Amino acid sequence: MSYMLLIAEPPGQRAERGVEEGQRVYQRMLNFADELKQRGVLRGVESLANDAKGVRVQVRDGRSRLVDGPFTEAKEMIGGFFLLDVATRDEAVAIAQACPAAEWATVEVRELGPCWA
């Protein structure tokens, strides 16, 4: 079964952390990803740039609406993800609990599935 771990960070946390601490935290995440690769459960992993460089797109009644980041109304930003292939939801949750980001962010566990289910 496929699960995605979404890393939801408080906005502004990266700037408060600074470069040196940010590099240390990032290395912990890289090490965690390497462990998951060695276990054979990691299908994909990426860190996302700050939402200040993002844009939200909506198309309603044929009209596009673009909103440039940062998204001030957002309480969290998605800072990255892990795509897992594990046997059970419990295994995905256990991996989320071991994820270093759970110490400074929220790790949301979501099973992949069609939008009509």
| Domain over 2-111 is classified CATH 3.30.70.1060 | yes
β pairing state of 77-85 and 2-9 = antiparallel
- The reported pLDDT for the residue numbered 106 is 97
Contact 50, 70 (CB under 8 A): yes
- The structural domains of the chain, with segments of one domain joined by +, span 2-111
pLDDT in tens, 60-99: 999 999 999 888 777 899 999 999 999 999 999 999 999 9
Contact 73, 90 (CB under 8 A): no
- The reported pLDDT for the residue numbered 24 is 97
Give strand ranges (E) for the chain.
2-9, 42-47, 55-60, 63-68, 77-85, 106-111
Q: What is the pTM of this model?
A: 0.91
The end-to-end CA distance of the chain, in Å, is 15
